[in-house]
Structure 1
């Protein structure tokens, strides 16, 4: 599973033997399109790595479902509140397509401390990287036009545009499906 090894090395700044030790802790899981990996209010203490397919992270409001993110192959996915704080899930994680995951539960995740002596420092840096990504997304929402947000998504995650329903993409980048359609037509012409 070289994809997982590469991402462990990139996300967690470990290499060689340590990356292999972490990789061995993951177990395969297969979801069909429409299956939920996690539902709001569940306590499902797991961390997953997406090998194939797309997962939509979303929450229901009174009037709609809001897509927070769409996880693609090569990305880790979890609800940090559940994994880190034993809180009920705040998000639904649903398979948009058939999905192949590698996952580990929280008990196994806790064993990484014994395998890698400087794991707390590595984990802290990983969470800081996640926080920086979140800051960038917030900044894009308050500083960029709808067209600029679409272009940023196109540059960063182009594969989503033909694999995921457009209303999910529109929600994720903070616009209506009609606005997304208008922008796509403008870009294509």
Structure 2
């Protein structure tokens, strides 16, 4: 069961056979993360790429003693400090479980091995990378162009699971405002 969501995602992008199914089971390791647990700490190279089966995770860093959330991710999705993971350099951000999480993880060596197993795995990586780049480009644009209320309204519309499951202080940081500003926006929306 824990591999079904990942295999469904993969098969929605490329055609996989029994050998590919076996590779996913061999190379991706089931892992449970507890609420509040730091999976990949700032200052160390990110060891794993995580696929989220259940739960919510965030990437954050510290600025002037405050936590700044740069990404919140939920199922089905991949998350890590990508630059650190790819380049094996110390991460500038922390990866933390917001809730208890059920994950599958793969290290860089095994991911590279998977990519060498055929052109279709490269195609899968290309599609996932393009999706991630598109998301990050849109998020950057939204942070520059939309005001705080518009960013919150877009989050409600596009990612309602985050609104229902993630603490307000993380959501506020994610959309670039203080928690008290988010509370005011929420009151205005409700009234």
- Output the TM-score relative to the length of structure 2: 0.89
Question: Can you give the 5+ residue segments of structure 1 that lack an aligned partner in the other structure?
Answer: none
Cα pair 2:40 2:47 within 8 Å, conserved: no
* 1:23-102 alignment runs, 5 A limit: 23-24=24-25, 25-102=27-104
Cα pair 1:67 1:171 within 8 Å, conserved: yes
Partner of 1:16: 16
4+ long deviations beyond 6 Å: none
- Output the TM-score relative to the length of structure 1: 0.90
1:15 CA drift (Å): 2.5
1:53 CA drift (Å): 1.2
In 1: Cα distance, 2:48 partner to 2:6 partner: 16
1:36 CA drift (Å): 0.8
* Count of aligned pairs between the two proteins: 187
Cα pair 1:58 1:91 within 8 Å, conserved: yes
Does 2:188 match 1:180? no
Question: Can you give the 5+ residue segments of structure 2 that lack an aligned partner in the other structure?
Answer: none
Q: For each residue in 1:30-73, what CA deviation from the matched residue of structure 2 results, as whole angstroms up to 9, or x when unmatched?
A: 11111111000112321111111111210011231100011112
* 1:115-154 alignment runs, 5 A limit: 115-154=117-156
Structure 1 pair 19/9, CA: closer, same or farther in 2 (3 Å)? Answer: farther
Cα pair 2:152 2:175 within 8 Å, conserved: yes
Cα pair 1:71 1:77 within 8 Å, conserved: yes
Cα pair 2:51 2:103 within 8 Å, conserved: yes
In 1: Cα distance, 2:144 partner to 2:23 partner: 38
